[in-house]
Amino acid sequence: FCTKAGKEPHFRESIVLKGASYPSDSWTNIPPSILQKVGRDLHNRKHHPISLIKLRIKNFFYNNFLRRGSPIFSVYDNLSPIVTLKQNFDNLLVPLDHPSRAQSDSYYFNRSHMLRAHTTAHQKDLIMSGLNSFLIVGDVYRRDTVDASHYPVFHQVDGVRLFTQEELFNSVRDPVGLSLFEKTVGERLPDKQEDHSLEAVKLVEHDLKSTLEHLAHHLFGKESEIQWVDAYFPFTHPSWELEIKYQDKWLEVLGCGIIEQEILRSGGVAHQIGWAFGLGLERLAMKLYNIPDIRLFWSENPDFLSQFQVDDPETPITYKVTSKYPQCICDISFWIPDNYKENDFYDLVRTVGGDLVEKVDLVDKFFHTKHQRQSHCYRVIYRHMEKTLTQADVNVIHNALRQEATKELGVELR
């Protein structure tokens, strides 16, 4: 990234990345710590847990979906994470007032370009290029809370499968009279869109759910407990989430549904119907390999990486924690300004503290009625993954955080 002399990185004139320059404007909010992650491509790095689990998913689709001996799914794992707002939102019918569009939730180069917040950003382009069945794998970026299962950069796999009338009904004994669409457009119901026929939707739903249940059993074994939960996405209806039992709790691992027909219509395939899903690779890998903390995926420590040196991705691996060093806990309290967003603070903690920060919790909120001001107290847990941090080390970082919070966010320390 480039900085104009004497200016804070925050106010840099433009961001230069992958050979292109993105002029800054009032939307720019990508810190250098995030830009440094672009191009790390953990999903394409040999012997990394994220690429191993990607290969297992890819193999599942290659081996189980064949037409005349060839796989029907093609895989795109090299698309640039720099996308337009149109790709990330408009193409997927995300309304203008949807929370994911807020500056506090996504990373923007400027008002036209951003780091993709989901791999679904490429769905419509690939459909328009004529593909029927495909997977998209890539790094995605979100401003979010800080803890063991959330990180501002993670990896997703999206899947899409479209069916023609013949393909969908070819397993039905007597398909005469069955159609993908209603003869007269009806109303949207909880279990179907206005133009779809109920029989088509039920078959697509069955194909989607059984595909993903098989995938979950392929990854975690037949005994693993799973459950379906109703969900909402602007680009599918109906929609569901799949949860997997992990350490006695239900963990959401993917979202999916029947693609909004409006996307297929404007994408040039009005005569087809289809399903789509998007899953998080870190969450699956944490469960599969028993990895306790999402920061470990970014580690260059040989104690971590050496445990994944297998050529066959189906090799069972259970990560062994080599050592766990003690935590240092520091609190910070301040009066917040009017336009304050919690995610701004979480992002700042990652920028200043990097991977030394394990967790940030909002532990106390307090409203001063006389001064009409709101105060927040956060508890920041610091822990190095490879050595013991001293209180003196932590004080340096925590003091820097106090200063930056004042300067960047306009808070008043208490």
Q: Which residues bind ligand FA5 (CB under 6 A)?
A: 118, 120, 142, 144, 150-151, 154, 156, 158, 233, 235-236, 252-257, 276-280, 282-283
Q: 216 and 225 in contact (C-beta within 8 Å)?
A: no
CA angle 356–360–361, rounded 5-degree value: 160
CA distance 204 to 321: 42
335: number of Cβ within 10 Å: 17
CA distance 213 to 231: 17
Q: 288 and 220 in contact (C-beta within 8 Å)?
A: yes
**Minimal distance, residue 323 CB to ligand FA5, in Å:** 25
**Minimal distance, residue 254 CB to ligand FA5, in Å:** 5
Residue placing its CB nearer to ligand FA5 in the complex, 283 or 398: 283
Q: Bridge partners of 246? A: 249
Q: 253 and 244 in contact (C-beta within 8 Å)?
A: yes
**Minimal distance, residue 234 CB to ligand FA5, in Å:** 9
Backbone angles phi, psi at 328, to 5 degrees: -120, 130
Residue placing its CB nearer to ligand FA5 in the complex, 81 or 336: 81
150 DSSP 8-state letter: B
**Minimal distance, residue 237 CB to ligand FA5, in Å:** 10
Residue placing its CB nearer to ligand FA5 in the complex, 31 or 328: 31
**Minimal distance, residue 312 CB to ligand FA5, in Å:** 25
Residue placing its CB nearer to ligand FA5 in the complex, 237 or 398: 237
**Minimal distance, residue 56 CB to ligand FA5, in Å:** 16
Q: Is 316 helix (H, G, I), strand (E, B) or coil?
A: coil
Residue placing its CB nearer to ligand FA5 in the complex, 226 or 389: 226
Residue, CB closest to ligand FA5: 280
Residue placing its CB nearer to ligand FA5 in the complex, 195 or 243: 243
**Minimal distance, residue 122 CB to ligand FA5, in Å:** 11
List b or e across 388-411, with b for residues whose CB sees 16 or more CB atoms inside 10 angstroms. Answer: ebeeeebeebbeebbeebeebbeb
Residue placing its CB nearer to ligand FA5 in the complex, 246 or 335: 246
**Pairing mode of beta strands 74-76, 133-141:** parallel
